[in-house]
Amino acid sequence: MSCRFVANSAPKNRRQTIENGLLQTHPLRKGSKPLRKGSPFTPSPSLILIPHCERAAGPSLTPSFSFSSQNIILEIYFLKLCNSTLSTWLSDPTNNVRDLGKMKSWFKQLLSAVAYIHEQGMIHRDLKPSNILLASDVLIKICDLGISASRKIIDDQEVPISRTNDRGTVKYMAPEQKGWAGYSAKVDIFSLGLILAELWVPMSEDLASTVFDNYRSGRSNTVLSQYPEVEHLVNWMTSVNDCDRPDCEEIAKHRFFSGLNEMHNEL
């Protein structure tokens, strides 16, 4: 299933839609009305599916995730059913022999989707395998922006700000998400690092929890010792100090991606 969220937040005779991760503005169809207050179909950001690297044609506008009940139109299009999640795939023992080329391609898609979310001034805050859909054997999508938050940018630099603590899934949280200190989009980078480790090496639930806790605490891990390039990238992405973590652009330039034929020219 693919969904389109439509927010009439600009002129009253126009609407904004997020299609393929890009906000578009279109004239409203005659007779269109906003949802009534208290409607059971009140939209949430979880309706948005951000595809891998795809860019829709047309001008790029800054998305708005403001849900005023007076200016909301919701349209859902059932385009393609995603039958599984990455979480289900990882728990299937028949997938314990990894196709590392495919894992690299999947991770590149995840990175590109997260980069796009960050470019739009947002932080996902709950990246985890159950929020990653398998659209096909080669295509994956990130979903559920239900607890996403805005980034604060000053002079082209993101400034960590205090946010509600413990928002997200504990297993995949960055260390700064678990307290009251401010944090930034680098929490998504930490979660991506944990997901990359899981993609590369099969791990039981207990082992993954131990490994991830080690990363959060700055303790060493040996789970990726046979894959030095992956180990270096994951260690970088999961640095305890968020200032030491790379951004998406820096990750895309890492030697881990060398030789990936399906790499896109830009995030």
pLDDT at residue 69, as a whole number: 52
Give the model's pLDDT for residue 146: 83
pLDDT of amino acid 71: 56
Mark whether 126 is an active-site residue: yes
Q: Give yes or no for a contact between 227 and 93, defined as CB atoms under 8 angstroms apart.
A: no
Give the pLDDT score at 196. 98
pLDDT of residue 151: 86
Residue 74's pLDDT is 53
Domains and CATH numbers, the chain: 1-80 (no CATH), 84-257 (1.10.510.10)
* pLDDT confidence of residue 52: 35
Catalytic residue among 126, 144, 188, 242: 126
CA-based nearest residue to 237, from 176, 191, 178, 182: 191
Q: What is the pLDDT of residue 33?
A: 39
Q: Provide the residue-wise pLDDT of the chain in tens; the chain has 267 residues.
A: 333 343 333 344 444 443 444 434 344 344 433 333 343 333 333 334 433 333 332 233 334 344 445 555 555 554 566 788 999 999 999 999 999 999 999 999 999 999 999 999 999 999 999 999 998 888 898 988 888 888 888 887 787 777 766 677 899 999 998 876 788 899 999 999 999 999 999 999 999 999 999 999 999 999 999 999 999 999 999 999 999 999 999 999 999 998 664 444 444
> How confident is the model at residue 137, as a pLDDT?
86
pTM as predicted: 0.70
Per-residue pLDDT at 136 = 85
Q: Fill in the DSSP letter of residue 102.
A: H
For residue 138, give Cα distances in angstroms to 92, 97, 107, 128, 201: 17, 17, 11, 18, 19
Are 242 and 187 a contacting pair, CB within 8 Å?
yes
